Amino acid sequence: MTELFRDLDGGPLCPDGSVVCIGAFDGLHIGHRALVGHAVARARALGVPAVALSFEPLPREFFAADVPPPRLQLPRMKLRALSALGVDVVGLLRFNASLASVSPEDFVQRLLVARLGAREVWVGPDFRFGRARAGNLDLLRKMGGELGFSAHTIAPVEIDGSPVSSTRIRAALQSGDFATATRLLGKPYSIAGRVVHGKQLGRTLGYPTANLRFANKVPALRGIYATWVHGVGALPWPSVSSFGTRPTVDGKEPLLEAHLFDFDGDLYGKLIEIEFVARLRDEEKFPDLPTLVVQMDRDAAQARHILMKTTERATA
């Protein structure tokens, strides 16, 4: 079972040493997975734990709290994904003013050496860390030579001549280009979480929904989508989903609502995963609920058609 820690200081976590990789890891795209996979392989070769270090909130969210950047993935799903890649210890460090003020040298000595006993550290080619982002790979290598670890990077993974990045994925998702997002991620884009209670307005309108909260993060998507829901039956379940603030009913918090076609059952508390297939339209504010229902009928019919065609192509 993967061990999670949140703090810079504390007792030793890896007394026999470790191999550490560091990154934001938002979305865990194919470039992230190459870095993590390499660190895990090196850890297995050395017979020590593999450690993945990240931050929550991400530094970009902390420094731009008024206009935080969109997130691809929630922290709990990042933890699950890293565990599935073979990581033994995950650090989701609490990024706050205190951590932001830590010098690169202190970060290395207090965390990488004292807590993790790093033997090798693996980072992306543009990795920066510590106060004022003053630390880099060169500093890691210099300090490693003095403190007994080595520091490395791997070549960036490229698609269409450009490095794979979370920024490229966000842009693809926001433009509805799910084919490109899938290539960059190495799998279809999806959001997972436990189904929570809503106001049950959809049920009264003939469209009951399974609702997932996005933990007050800014989502990379907003609108109406044709989707598959995983974790309900033996096969993905066809659905139409809305991701946004529900302006017609003056909603505030981003909510992902999936209506599962021809489904009858209780999903509250169940862990599900919603896979995005195609963008149907923007979120809109309608003058009244009957007008909204007319549009929901159109959305459902369009989503059914798209998903049926997707299934036909997959089985052809």
Is 209 found in the same domain as 105?
no
Is 216 found in the same domain as 128?
no
Of the pLDDT bands very low, low, confident and very high (cuts 50, 70, 90), residue 199 is: confident
Contact (CB, 8 A) for 39 and 118: no
Is the residue at 180 inside a domain?
no
What pLDDT, on a 0 to 100 scale, did the predictor assign at position 254? 86
The residues with which 120 forms a beta bridge, in sequence order, are: 19, 150
The Cα–Cα gap between 35 and 120 comes to 13
Is the residue at 176 inside a domain?
no
| pTM passes above 0.85 | yes
Instruction: Take residue 65 and report the two structure tokens written for it.
Output: 């709290």
Is 197 found in the same domain as 50?
no
Is 245 found in the same domain as 208?
yes
**Total domain count, the chain:** 2
What pLDDT, on a 0 to 100 scale, did the predictor assign at position 316? 62
Q: How many residues does the chain have?
A: 316
Instruction: Take residue 286 and report the two structure tokens written for it.
Output: 């309608």
The Cα–Cα gap between 195 and 257 comes to 9
Contact (CB, 8 A) for 229 and 274: yes
**pLDDT above 70 as % of the chain:** 97
Is 285 found in the same domain as 198?
yes
DSSP the chain: --EEE--SSSS-S-TT-EEEEE---SS--HHHHHHHHHHHHHHHHHTS-EEEEEEES-HHHHHTTTSPPPBSS-HHHHHHHHHHTT-SEEEEEE-SHHHHTS-HHHHIIIIIIIIT-EEEEEE-TT--BSGGG-B-HHHHHHHHHHHT-EEEE-PPPEETTEE--HHHHHHHHHTT-HHHHHHHHTS--EEEEE-B----HHHHTT---EEEE-TTPPBS--EEEEEEEESSSSSPEEEEEEEE--GGGT--S-EEEEEETT--S--TT-EEEEEEEEEEE-----SSHHHHHHHHHHHHHHHHHHHHHHHHHHH-
What do you get for the CA distance between the two ends of the chain, in Å?
40
Task: Quote the longest CA-to-CA distance of the chain.
Answer: 70
- Return all residues near 54 (Cβ < 8 A) that are at least 6 apart: 22, 23, 24, 25, 78, 90, 91, 92, 93
CATH of the domain at 246: 2.40.30.30
Of the pLDDT bands very low, low, confident and very high (cuts 50, 70, 90), residue 313 is: confident
Domain that holds residue 58: 3-159
Is the residue at 166 inside a domain?
no
What pLDDT, on a 0 to 100 scale, did the predictor assign at position 116? 98
Question: How distant, in Å, are the alpha carbons of 56, 100, 135, 151 from that of 141?
Answer: 26, 21, 11, 5
Of the pLDDT bands very low, low, confident and very high (cuts 50, 70, 90), residue 198 is: confident
Q: What is the mean pLDDT of residues 11-29?
A: 96
Is the residue at 179 inside a domain?
no
pLDDT over 80 (residue 200): no
What pLDDT, on a 0 to 100 scale, did the predictor assign at position 315? 67
Is 193 found in the same domain as 134?
no
Is 200 found in the same domain as 144?
no
What pLDDT, on a 0 to 100 scale, did the predictor assign at position 250? 64
36-55 pLDDT, tens digit each: 999 999 999 999 999 999 99
Of the pLDDT bands very low, low, confident and very high (cuts 50, 70, 90), residue 27 is: very high
What pLDDT, on a 0 to 100 scale, did the predictor assign at position 68? 86
Is 114 found in the same domain as 154?
yes
pLDDT over 90 (residue 114): yes
Is 224 found in the same domain as 103?
no
Q: Which of 199, 197, 195, 211 is nearest to 249 (CA)?
A: 199
Task: Pick 145 or 252 by higher pLDDT.
Answer: 145
pLDDT over 90 (residue 209): yes
pLDDT over 80 (residue 141): yes
What pLDDT, on a 0 to 100 scale, did the predictor assign at position 259? 96
Average pLDDT score, the chain: 93
214-268 pLDDT, tens digit each: 877 889 999 999 999 999 989 999 999 999 987 766 677 889 999 999 998 889 9
Q: What is the mean pLDDT of residues 257-280?
A: 95
Is 152 found in the same domain as 202?
no
CATH of the domain at 64: 3.40.50.620
Is 36 found in the same domain as 147?
yes
Is 17 found in the same domain as 67?
yes
